[in-house]
Amino acid sequence: MTVASSLITRSRVWSISGGIHPAEHKQESNTAPIEAIPLPSTLWLPLNMHIGAPATPVVSVGQMVRKGQIIAQSGGGISASVHAPTSGRITAIEDHAYAHESGLKQPAIAIEADGLDDWRKQTPWEDWASKTHEELLQRIHDGGITGLGGAGFPTDIKYRNRHAPIDTLLINAAECEPYITADDRLMRERAEDILRGAQICLHLLGARRILIGIEDNKPEAATALEQAAETLQQRIELAVVPTKYPSGGEKQLIQLVTGKEVPKGGLPSDLGIVCQNVGTLYQIYRTVVHDEPLISRITTVTGAAVSNPGNYEVLIGTSMETVLNHAGAHLKKADRVIMGGPMMGFAVPDIAAPIMKSTNCLLAPTKKELPPAIEDSPCIRCGLCEQACPVDLLPQQMHWASKHRELESAELHSLEDCIECGACAYVCPSRIPLVQYFRYAKGELKQERQQHEESERARIRFENRQARLEREKQEKEARRKARAEAAAKAQAEKKAREGAPSSGSNDDDPVKAALARAAAKKQARAESAAAVEQSPAELKEALDKAKAKFDKASTRLQEAEANGDAMVAALKKAADKLEEKYLSAEKAYQAATQSQETDPS
């Protein structure tokens, strides 16, 4: 950090809450230059090496491909393409070991290298500034570039979805995880290319400034960036932040270098900031200017079980085992292999899994180096976790809520704002695996929310259906009415039409009139007969039955009234009804016997 010129300004640094100082272990891997790993014989390229929709294969088994050729096209929306890292033959498109904690296999494309490393036709753009934004973004998208810092978010999306005008391109050069030095080495060796990539991004964003956030444990890298800025005559602002984990988290770095917080549920672009990792910027440069898609990356291979720890330039798709062997890892001595750093990385279940776009580190520690967890004690609420939390949560309370699955309480304690950095678990004297508890509770919360949404959808669907049925019924009714009216009208019209010419004759016809009268009489008699259809004997039986029922009901009613039973009201009602029935039955019977007597038929 010797260069001082008008091009380089030192930017003010704010602070973040909490944070921890774990042993850095950077020395092991940051002294040797980046070394390329020889071309492996077979490469496995997973279709989902990024956040978003998996890519779709556009090659078939047996097909020959050239280096840099697209072998799987990005799916719609948020996605990234996959390219052949070398020339060769497609030998399989099937599920293959994949670096994920679950150990589940994932679809991947296998390429058998032909050893020629034969590039597809490349069209370098030395004059990228003359291209349109859309052309540049398309090139970045077609290059399959994803964030190389670890999350693997497709890069072009950052430049497409912008809500606020961008003021600052923030270069994340903090690399705060212990052990990892991939960015450190890249900056030392290829600082100019990183800044060239940054220039492209600055152009795309229309941003005012390049701000670099770097931890103070990487003075060589900072110097390299300053020298590169001099060479390129590029104005930069350098914010050297104190070494503290997790200052390299995007939200934390933004707070450190601007003093602002990304609002809950918002994006850095809400603050006029786009944050980009140095590795990603380097790749943007390679892709835009040299037409090299993302087919290789720098991966730190380190840990006490590795005899040649350092940084390796690895083709995406190379198996982890190959890389570890090349670095001289004693896999028997290694307690486990971690992808990423010791704070946020995960133990890889199968090292046949290929290096992915997001594999920034392979850590093979011995048991002594990173001892397995000891048995946890109960939480004594000492509050060390709270003092270490970079986002001001209360991990001890969240732990209580998560452990007892009190999801509402967990939510009240803003569980979902947890960035899972692991600082709380690191300082916990009870050695409680806090992050695991929080992941569990987050999963439960998510599931509960999904279930809630589903039931909400079901409810809306049901209500809509009810409304539709009701509407259909009404419409049907309306149609029926309309039809009936139309028919009546038609009838009336018909009648009017028919009646008009023969109106006189109708009234005059005595035969017709007589017939009508007879019909009416007959109908009336039939109606009265219907009432007395039952024989008197049957009616008598019904009458007896009704009487018996009524008597029984009244005795029960009396009993109930005497006992002060609660059923009195109901019984009374029933008795009244039975009495009515009984009386009507009696009437019917009397009418029947009378009519029998009077009616001779």
Q: Which of residues 243-272 bind another protein (CB under 8 A)?
A: 251, 255, 261-266
Q: Rounded CA gap, 96 and 345, in Å? A: 21
Please identify, among the stretches 6-14, 185-193, 392-400, 551-559, the one whose residues bind another protein according to the rule CB under 8 A.
392-400
466 binds another protein (CB under 8 A): no
Q: Report the residue number, 291 or 386, with the smaller CB distance to another protein.
A: 386
What would the DSSP string read from start to end of 68-136?
A: T-EEEE--SSS---EE-SSSEEEEEEEEE--SSTT---EEEEEEEE-S---BPP----TTGGGS-HHHH
Q: Rounded CA gap, 323 and 348, in Å? A: 14
Please identify, among the stretches 281-289, 322-330, 334-342, 501-509, the one whose residues bind another protein according to the rule CB under 8 A.
334-342
Q: Which of residues 553-592 bind another protein (CB under 8 A)?
A: none
Strand-pair category, 338-339 with 346-347: antiparallel
- Using the rule CB under 8 A, which residue among 380, 488, 569, 570 binds another protein? 380
3-class state of residue 224 by DSSP: helix
What would the DSSP string read from start to end of 199-213?
A: HHHHHHHT-SEEEEE
333 binds another protein (CB under 8 A): no
390 binds another protein (CB under 8 A): yes
What would the DSSP string read from start to end of 346-384?
A: EE-S-TTSBP-TT--EEE--BTTTSPPPPPPPPP----H
151 binds another protein (CB under 8 A): no
Please identify, among the stretches 294-302, 305-313, 374-382, 460-468, the one whose residues bind another protein according to the rule CB under 8 A.
374-382
Contact 258, 271 (CB under 8 A): yes
Contact 153, 50 (CB under 8 A): yes
Q: Which of residues 6-25 bind another protein (CB under 8 A)?
A: 17, 20, 22-23
Q: Which of residues 435-464 bind another protein (CB under 8 A)?
A: 435-436, 439
Q: Rounded CA gap, 525 and 516, in Å? A: 14
Name the residue type at position 484.
Answer: A
- Using the rule CB under 8 A, which residue among 430, 534, 554, 595 binds another protein? 430
Q: Which of residues 164-193 bind another protein (CB under 8 A)?
A: 178
- Under rule CB under 8 A, how many of the chain's residues touch another protein? 72
90 binds another protein (CB under 8 A): no
Please identify, among the stretches 139-147, 168-176, 433-441, 506-514, the one whose residues bind another protein according to the rule CB under 8 A.
433-441
Please indicate if the annotation marks 382 as binding a ligand. yes
343 binds another protein (CB under 8 A): yes
> Is omega for the bond preceding 371 within 30 degrees of 0, making it cis?
no
Q: Report the residue number, 282 or 438, with the smaller CB distance to another protein.
A: 438
Q: Report the residue number, 33 or 263, with the smaller CB distance to another protein.
A: 263
Q: Report the residue number, 208 or 260, with the smaller CB distance to another protein.
A: 260
Q: Report the residue number, 417 or 475, with the smaller CB distance to another protein.
A: 417
- As measured in angstroms, the least distance from the Cβ of 575 to another protein is 53
- In the 8-state DSSP scheme, what is residue 47? S
If we measure between CA atoms, which residue out of 331, 275, 335, 326 comes closest to residue 299? 326
Q: Report the residue number, 204 or 256, with the smaller CB distance to another protein.
A: 256
Contact 222, 1 (CB under 8 A): yes
347 binds another protein (CB under 8 A): yes
379 binds another protein (CB under 8 A): yes
3-class state of residue 46 by DSSP: strand
Contact 143, 294 (CB under 8 A): yes
396 binds another protein (CB under 8 A): yes
Binding mask 410-429 for another protein (x = CB under 8 A): -xxxx--x--x-x--xxxxx
- Using the rule CB under 8 A, which residue among 28, 131, 349, 406 binds another protein? 349
Please indicate if the annotation marks 424 as binding a ligand. yes
- Using the rule CB under 8 A, which residue among 140, 384, 441, 585 binds another protein? 384
387 binds another protein (CB under 8 A): yes
Q: Report the residue number, 22 or 293, with the smaller CB distance to another protein.
A: 22
Binding mask 101-140 for another protein (x = CB under 8 A): x-x-------------------------------------
Q: Which of residues 46-65 bind another protein (CB under 8 A)?
A: none
Phi, psi of 551 (to 5 degrees): -60, -45
Please indicate if the annotation marks 421 as binding a ligand. yes
Task: Return the bridge partners of 114, or none.
Answer: none
- Using the rule CB under 8 A, which residue among 4, 151, 382, 548 binds another protein? 382
323 binds another protein (CB under 8 A): no
Please indicate if the annotation marks 201 as binding a ligand. no
In angstroms, how far is CA 379 from the centroid of its own chain? 32
Task: Return the bridge partners of 92, or none.
Answer: 110
378 binds another protein (CB under 8 A): yes
Strand-pair category, 70-73 with 42-46: unpaired
**How many CA atoms lie less than 13 Å away from 449 in the CB half-sphere?**
10
278 binds another protein (CB under 8 A): no
- As measured in angstroms, the least distance from the Cβ of 296 to another protein is 26
Burial class from Cβ neighbours inside 10 Å (0-12, 13-18, 19+) for residue 306 reads: buried
- As measured in angstroms, the least distance from the Cβ of 344 to another protein is 5
Please indicate if the annotation marks 428 as binding a ligand. yes
Q: Rounded CA gap, 7 and 229, in Å? A: 7
Q: Rounded CA gap, 192 and 371, in Å? A: 40
Please indicate if the annotation marks 361 as binding a ligand. no
Q: Cα angle vertex 109, ends 104, 113, to 5°?
A: 130
96 binds another protein (CB under 8 A): no
Please identify, among the stretches 4-12, 164-172, 333-341, 569-577, the one whose residues bind another protein according to the rule CB under 8 A.
333-341
Length of the chain: 601
Contact 241, 253 (CB under 8 A): yes
Q: State the DSSP H helix or E strand holding residue 276, giving kind and residue range, or none if neither.
A: strand 273-277
Please identify, among the stretches 36-44, 104-112, 366-374, 532-540, the one whose residues bind another protein according to the rule CB under 8 A.
366-374
Q: Rounded CA gap, 448 and 444, in Å? A: 6
537 binds another protein (CB under 8 A): no
- Cα–Cα distance list, 269 to 109, 211, 251 (Å): 35, 14, 12
149 binds another protein (CB under 8 A): no
Task: Return the bridge partners of 338, or none.
Answer: 347, 363
Residues making up the annotated binding site for [4Fe-4S] cluster are: 379, 382, 385, 389, 418, 421, 424, 428
What residues form the annotated binding site? 379, 382, 385, 389, 418, 421, 424, 428
